[in-house]
Amino acid sequence: MATVQAASRGITAEERKVIFASSLGTVFEWYDFYLYGSLAAIIAKQFFAGTDPTTAFIFALLAFAAGFIVRPFGALVFGRLGDMIGRKYTFLVTILIMGLSTFIVGLLPGYASIGITAPVILISLRILQGLALGGEYGGAATYVAEHAPHDKRGAFTAWIQTTATLGLFLSLLVILGTRTAIGEAAFADWGWRIPFLVSVFLLAVSVWIRLSMNESPAFAKMKAEGKTSKAPITESFGQWKNLKIVILALIGLTAGQAVVWYTGQFYALFFLTQTLKVDGSTANLLIAASLVIGTPFFIVFGSLSDKIGRKVIIMGGCLIAALTYFPIFSALTHYANPALESAIKNSPVVVTADPAKCQFLFNPTGTKKFTTSCDIARTVLANASVNYSTVEAQAGTIASVKVGDKVIQGYDATGLSKDEAAAKDKEFKKELGDAIKAAGYPTKADPAQMNKGMVLVLLTILVIYVTMVYGPIAAMLVEMFPTRIRYTSMSLPYHIGNGWFGGLLPTTAFALVAYKGDIYYGLWYPIVIALITFVIGSLFIKETKDRDIYAAD
């Protein structure tokens, strides 16, 4: 692909307006998608009430991830349409599917009303949302880049990158406002539906904005010349010269970018609320504040990439994040819940058990029952955010838990009747809960002990990492592929990276923590992926900022 040496063209006021409209529409679309992630704990109780709390939360996170898993398929469907018929009308379809699916979630009866039908419908709606979002990003990035001057593509496409964060910020504000207005009890009961229902107004505005858009000049020119692709999927993935670039874009760019993105925003929120027991309103407010402070850095790093290149910034973000996640999340514990940190250091917990009876505590279907004494003990400890180590015992030994100097004998529920198991479970949980509490493990973070200023600083650092990897990536992906198959080619690696590597991060990390007994163990997932991207990207991906994106081939 040729490089551009001539001076870049200017951009008209009308084109600026269209680019703004595209970005604003994407804000609304991401708002719809993020509502579910922000309300995962409440939705777990509403739609997966037939399972234990740990399983319900993992199941809820997987339902959230379902929308990400199907995103690559949406990228194929809508990417093909975008390359064949144009960017504008593909945008309109994706926003309609996303908005209507979100609105229906707000009306959907819960598990208590219609049983298993409720989670089935919910997951179906999540899949529709994922398909729509799979067609959104590639089109928005392509559309904006094809309007921008060649030496300002990083700056212009960085505005698209702010939309995901701004969408999350908007969803958090609506949730916080609703919670404050009606109270926590009413919000958990029925008020959680309001943010979903409000999205219908955002949908109306978005459709109006999308209808006012003009077609991309690069696509319009190519279409007028009769050079549009007749088979963009085949051209994108059936020819090795393009397929190898798609593979490199996935492993050497988007996989690492995705895990840094989801760690810095979603996993940080889950860690605060689920592990550190910070109340939901405080956690959401702190995340929202960090987004306000950090979001301008999308434009900073996007603009900087026009001068020094995209690659060095993205690779730097992956490496710095991987090297600092453990100390940052350890510091979050220190400043958000110092009582928990103190308990972990001063009151070690040890589970002594037969290793053959200790399973991996991951239950995506919600049907698996953990009945061994080891699994029961570890489940209770994981729910209480208690770090523990495991000591091997002889075969057949009933697990016991040592908290400080106190030993609590566990029980095995295998073969017990439901009532017998329930009675033993209640007795065991009470005894273990009392021991954990006596050892100083808090049931929730104490606001009086929390250093909110330092928590905000740490969360902002995580957001800045996000802006490093995410700010320049749209321009780089656009520049890697020719116009005739750009929408399809860039959408698939982006959505496999963000949909699979990123979207599955909260579920995977939560299960790893429950399995290992270490509240920080889940961080190994994003660290390893980010380091792989750093190595592959540094070695095999070339800088793209000076490439000509107006060539059809």
**What is the pLDDT, as a whole number, of residue 361?**
63
| Cα(338)–Cα(332) distance, integer angstroms | 9
**DSSP code per residue over 419-440:** HHHHHHHHHHHHHHHHHHHHTT
**What is the pLDDT, as a whole number, of residue 23?**
74
| Cα(217)–Cα(298) distance, integer angstroms | 25
Share of the chain above pLDDT 90, in %: 27
Q: Report which of residues 283 and 145 the model is more confident about.
A: 283
Structure confidence at residue 7 as a pLDDT band (50, 70, 90) = very low
Q: How many CB atoms lie within 10 A of CB 9?
A: 12
> Which of 76, 160, 258, 259 shows the shortest CA–CA distance to 475?
160
Q: Report which of residues 397 and 66 the model is more confident about.
A: 397
- H or E segment and range at residue 350: strand 349-353
- Judge whether residue 220 has pLDDT over 70: no
The CA-CA-CA angle for residues 457, 272, 31, to 5°, reads: 85
| Cα(228)–Cα(179) distance, integer angstroms | 50
Query: Exposed, middle or buried, 230 (CB in 10 Å: 0-12/13-18/19+)?
Result: exposed
Q: Where in the chain is the domain with CATH 1.20.1250.20?
A: 13-337+447-540
- Judge whether residue 365 has pLDDT over 60: no
Q: How many CB atoms lie within 10 A of CB 414?
A: 11
User: pLDDT tens digit string along 495-506?
Assistant: 888 878 887 787
- Which amino acid appears at position 352 of this protein? T
Longest dimension (CA), the chain: 80
**What is the pLDDT, as a whole number, of residue 251?**
95
Average pLDDT on 285-308 reads 92
User: pLDDT tens digit string along 238-277?
Assistant: 888 889 999 999 999 999 999 999 999 889 988 998 889 9
Topology given in CATH for the domain delimited by 346-438: Glutaredoxin (3.40.30)
| Cα(489)–Cα(231) distance, integer angstroms | 12
Q: Where in the chain is the domain with CATH 3.40.30?
A: 346-438
Average pLDDT on 22-43 reads 75
- Judge whether residue 398 has pLDDT over 70: yes
- Judge whether residue 5 has pLDDT over 50: no
| Cα(289)–Cα(285) distance, integer angstroms | 6
When mean pLDDT is compared across 203-207, 412-416, 421-425, the lowest value belongs to: 412-416
Residues 6+ apart with CB under 8 A from 419: none
Taking the CA atoms of residue 100, residue 101, residue 105 and residue 108 in that order, the dihedral angle to the nearest 10 degrees is 90
Which listed CATH number (3.20.10.10, 1.20.1440.120, 1.20.1250.20, 3.30.420.40) goes with 13-337+447-540?
Answer: 1.20.1250.20
Share of the chain above pLDDT 70, in %: 87
Average pLDDT on 208-236 reads 70
User: Exposure pattern of 357-381 as b/e (b: 16+ CB <10 Å)?
Assistant: bbeebbbeebeeebbbbbbbbbbbb
Structure confidence at residue 12 as a pLDDT band (50, 70, 90) = low
Query: Exposed, middle or buried, 411 (CB in 10 Å: 0-12/13-18/19+)?
Result: buried
When mean pLDDT is compared across 172-186, 365-379, 442-456, 532-546, the lowest value belongs to: 365-379
Q: Is 303 within 8 Å of 198 (Cβ atoms)?
A: no
**What is the pLDDT, as a whole number, of residue 285?**
87
**Residue 347 DSSP label:** S
User: pLDDT tens digit string along 75-131?
Assistant: 888 878 877 776 677 878 888 888 888 899 899 998 888 887 888 888 888 888 888
Q: Report which of residues 67 and 77 the model is more confident about.
A: 77
**What is the pLDDT, as a whole number, of residue 395?**
87
Per-chain mean pLDDT for the chain: 83
Average pLDDT on 162-177 reads 82
Q: Is 463 within 8 Å of 295 (Cβ atoms)?
A: yes
**What is the pLDDT, as a whole number, of residue 221?**
67
What 3-state DSSP class applies to 36? helix
Average pLDDT on 217-235 reads 69
